[in-house]
Copies of this chain bind each other. A is one copy, B any other.
Amino acid sequence: MRRKAADSNTYRFFVAPGSIAGDEVFVADEVLARQLASVLRLGPGDRVTLLDDSGQRYLVEIQSLERKALRGLVMERYDATGSEARTRVTLYQALTRGERFELVLQKATELGVAAIVPVAYARSAVDPGEAQRKRDRWERILREAAEQSCRGRLPTLAGPLAFADACGAAAAFDLSVVLWEGAAPPLRAVLRECGTPQAITSVALWSGPEGGLSAEEVALAQNRGSRVASLGPRILRAETAPLVALSVVLYECGDLD
């Protein structure tokens, strides 16, 4: 069920970049066209909110709903970035069994993650090939979660990558944190050592599979510039830890205000 945008009382949808040129709207998307016509019973003259991941959102009047496309006219354009987190968090999430991984995709998008990279850690029980096969499905989960949570931009879905290939990316972030159940300082200490968390603009979060990262992976991550951090004495599942860490990071950085 798609949700009406809180601010304009219209349904809201992400559409492919390039669908909106000037005031002309042409969206070649059979699924969307069918949903608008058959499920929501909309037609010429009705209005919807469209986003093309450009940072703008558009109030669009439907001109025609064809079997495989929507044609319309831009009535108003607004900045769509007001609901986006200032801090860009990239989640390097372990490939885990389907349902749990998909939960992380959905919830991290609601929370405001900027990018998700599926990672094959040493103990990941899932074939990276699955990530390729499921890419369309995962992108749909991200898009629907972004629509429902009234985001202005879609999170990026990269990878999948093997951990050894991914871990060098740590250097590109203001802060790179590996969640670790072993002996590690609390996330609070790691965040506050950075000075003012609200000055952090980019964070990488590394969250391992059931069974955690191997000692070798932790050593390699630290060697490439990541810090390890603990979420306390309770053992969180592989799909829970990243969502708790993401909540805390966005909170500390002022992005839940």
**Could you give, for residues 102-129 of chain A, a 1 whenever the CB lies within 8 Å of some chain B CB and a 0 otherwise?**
0100010011100000000000000000
Is A52 in the interface zone, CB < 8 Å from B?
no
Is A177 in the interface zone, CB < 8 Å from B?
no
**Could you give, for residues 168-210 of chain A, a 1 whenever the CB lies within 8 Å of some chain B CB and a 0 otherwise?**
0000000000000100001111000000000000000000000
Is A233 in the interface zone, CB < 8 Å from B?
yes
Is A231 in the interface zone, CB < 8 Å from B?
yes
Is A150 in the interface zone, CB < 8 Å from B?
yes
Q: How far apart are the CA atoms of A234 and B83 in the complex, in Å? A: 6
Which listed residue (B112, B186, B188) contacts A234, Cβ 8 A? B112
A3 touches B257 (CB 8 A): no
B236 touches A111 (CB 8 A): yes
Is A248 in the interface zone, CB < 8 Å from B?
yes
Which segment, of A43-51, A63-71, A134-142, A237-245, faces chain B?
Answer: A237-245
Q: How far apart are the CA atoms of A240 and B158 in the complex, in Å? A: 24
Nearest-neighbour CB distance to chain B for A238, whole angstroms, equals 11
Is A90 in the interface zone, CB < 8 Å from B?
no
Is A256 in the interface zone, CB < 8 Å from B?
yes
B244 touches A256 (CB 8 A): yes
A187: nearest chain-B partner, CB-CB: B256
A110 touches B234 (CB 8 A): yes
Do A151 and B247 form a contact, CB below 8 Å, given A186-B257, A256-B186? no
Q: How far apart are the CA atoms of A85 and B103 in the complex, in Å? A: 25
A244: nearest chain-B partner, CB-CB: B247
Q: How far apart are the CA atoms of A233 and B237 in the complex, in Å? A: 27
- Chain B residues with Cβ below 8 Å from A215 are none
- Chain B residues with Cβ below 8 Å from A107 are 240, 243
Nearest-neighbour CB distance to chain B for A13, whole angstroms, equals 15
Do A232 and B248 form a contact, CB below 8 Å, given A110-B237, A240-B110? no
Q: Supply 15 A–B pairs (Cβ within 8 Å), ascending by A.
A: A83-B233, A110-B236, A110-B237, A110-B240, A148-B235, A149-B234, A149-B237, A150-B233, A150-B235, A188-B251, A188-B256, A189-B257, A230-B257, A232-B257, A251-B251
